[in-house]
């Protein structure tokens, strides 16, 4: 299946198209914006615009290059997404492993263009950067430009051991080969290395309107939702189609589990351990970090409520009683600490029990 149509971001698209048509598109771009708002989809749209062979109406969507981009099959489009750390010890094998993992994800996205966000522990390791370097050193297959998209680029610097990877990438961004465009995407550009950020022209993407999200979901969700379910999903999205899509799968389940668990704490139901044991067992660390993400999101919304701003997704009502955000921010800090601990070899159920006791004290 080809990529689904791009939604929203018209002013940014118009600016980028002007730059492409005038032949002055920067060689290194950084697209930042809230999760699920379509940063990588916009990067793919831009790739299509650059590679399109119909200059008067790019991206035309009909020429061979446009169709290959939409099928994620263009030989000069290289899309790098976070993956699990390669297991091989030999560096060359690690690169092969990274290439296979990315190819597998691309195959999944061709089969299911509405995809969930990457696992919380997935990252860009040195193997991915070596793969990128290797591909950047080759010439264009189709004779035109070459596009490299590095999605969730902040995942490159998550660990110190990745410093080598960051440096190798920096060199490439410093002097991009002619005819090559690098598009980095990040939720928060401040989480990238300053040296990396300084080499890129930054573009910030805003949230979509509810109408844009509603139109997209109405046209593309399968099976379609009935009207009340569609409205609930639009409300959950908070202007991010990715969030609306994720709400239908594991992340949605994590969001639900987070709300129930917070409600149990706020009502003082059971001990931390009892509450933690009632949660399903986490088969992967990524699922546990998804729960932590959902807890952070929910408390973040409660902070908005405490500051008198509109809450964009359902939050347990007991969390909306706070007049000042101080205690909620304290709770967010405890979740951040738990996330750090989750990187170590600690049982998630025990971490959650401790976190539950902490939050019961704070909230």
Q: Which residues bind Zn ion (CB under 5 A)?
A: 52, 54, 60, 63, 66
Closest approach, Cβ 64 to Zn ion, in A, equals 8
Closest approach, Cβ 303 to Zn ion, in A, equals 45
Q: Which is nearer to Zn ion, 52 or 150 (CB)?
A: 52
Q: Which is nearer to Zn ion, 56 or 340 (CB)?
A: 56
Closest approach, Cβ 146 to Zn ion, in A, equals 16
Q: Which is nearer to Zn ion, 44 or 262 (CB)?
A: 44
Q: Which is nearer to Zn ion, 52 or 353 (CB)?
A: 52
CB-based contacts of 332-335 (< 8 A; 24+ apart in sequence):
332/296, 332/299, 332/300, 332/303, 334/358, 334/359, 334/362, 335/292, 335/295, 335/296, 335/299
Q: Which is nearer to Zn ion, 60 or 273 (CB)?
A: 60
User: Residue 111: CB partners within 8 Å, gap ≥ 6?
Assistant: 1
Distance CA 321, CA 267 (A): 13
Q: Are the C-beta atoms of 45 and 14 separated by less than 8 Å?
A: no
Measure the CA angle with vertex 223, ends 219 and 227; round to 5°. 65
**Half-sphere exposure (CA, 13 Å, Cβ side) for 99?**
12
What is the three-class DSSP state of 351? helix
Q: With residue 184 as reference, give the H or E element that holds it.
A: strand 180-186
**C-alpha distances in Å from residue 198, one per residue of 30, 104, 133, 193, 253:** 10, 32, 20, 9, 38
Closest approach, Cβ 53 to Zn ion, in A, equals 6
Tokens of 139: 């010439």
Closest approach, Cβ 44 to Zn ion, in A, equals 13
Distance CA 168, CA 84 (A): 20
Measure the CA angle with vertex 245, ends 240 and 247; round to 5°. 95
Q: Which is nearer to Zn ion, 66 or 81 (CB)?
A: 66
Residues comprising the chain, all counted: 363
Closest approach, Cβ 102 to Zn ion, in A, equals 25
Closest approach, Cβ 51 to Zn ion, in A, equals 8
Exposure letters 288-305 (e unless 16+ CB within 10 A, then b) = bbbbbbbbbbbbbbbbbb
Q: Which is nearer to Zn ion, 61 or 179 (CB)?
A: 61
Closest approach, Cβ 183 to Zn ion, in A, equals 18
Paired strand residues for 148:
78, 182
Distance CA 307, CA 284 (A): 35
Q: Which is nearer to Zn ion, 60 or 360 (CB)?
A: 60
Distance CA 70, CA 198 (A): 31
Q: Which is nearer to Zn ion, 54 or 163 (CB)?
A: 54
Closest approach, Cβ 32 to Zn ion, in A, equals 27
């Amino acid at each position: 299946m080809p990529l689904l149509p791009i939604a929203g971001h018209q002013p940014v698209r118009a600016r980028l198209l002007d730059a492409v048509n005038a032949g002055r598109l920067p060689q290194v771009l950084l697209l930042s914006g809230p999760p699920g708002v379509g940063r990588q989809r916009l990067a793919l749209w831009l790739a299509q615009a650059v590679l399109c062979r119909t200059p008067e109406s790019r991206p035309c969507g009909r020429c061979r290059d446009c169709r290959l981009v939409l099928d994620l099959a263009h030989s000069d489009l290289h899309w790098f997404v976070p993956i699990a750390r390669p297991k091989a010890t030999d560096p060359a094998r690690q690169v092969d492993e990274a290439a296979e993992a990315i190819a597998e994800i691309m195959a999944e996205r061709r089969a299911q263009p509405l995809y969930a966000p990457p696992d919380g522990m997935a990252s860009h390791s040195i193997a991915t950067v070596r793969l990128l370097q290797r591909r950047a050193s080759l010439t264009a297959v189709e004779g035109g430009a070459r596009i490299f998209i590095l999605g969730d680029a902040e995942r490159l610097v998550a660990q110190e051991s990745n410093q080598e990877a960051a440096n190798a990438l920096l060199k490439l961004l410093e002097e991009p080969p002619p005819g090559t465009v690098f598009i980095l995407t990040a939720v928060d550009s401040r989480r990238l290395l300053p040296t990396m950020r300084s080499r890129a022209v930054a573009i910030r993407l805003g949230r979509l309107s509810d109408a844009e999200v509603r139109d997209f979901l109405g046209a593309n969700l399968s099976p379609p939702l009935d009207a009340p379910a569609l409205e609930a999903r639009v409300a959950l999205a908070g202007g991010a189609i990715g969030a609306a899509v994720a709400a239908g799968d594991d992340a949605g389940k994590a969001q639900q589990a987070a709300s129930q668990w917070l409600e149990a704490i706020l009502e003082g139901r059971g001990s931390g351990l009892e509450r933690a044991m009632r949660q399903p067992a986490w088969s992967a660390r990524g699922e546990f970090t998804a729960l932590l993400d959902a807890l952070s999101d929910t408390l973040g919304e409660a902070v908005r409520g405490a500051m008198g701003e509109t809450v964009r997704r359902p939050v347990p009502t007991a969390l909306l009683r706070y007049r000042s955000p101080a205690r909620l921010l304290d709770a967010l800090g405890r979740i951040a600490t738990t996330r750090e601990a989750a990187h170590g070899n600690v049982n998630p159920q025990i971490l959650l029990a401790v976190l539950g006791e902490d939050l019961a004290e704070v909230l």
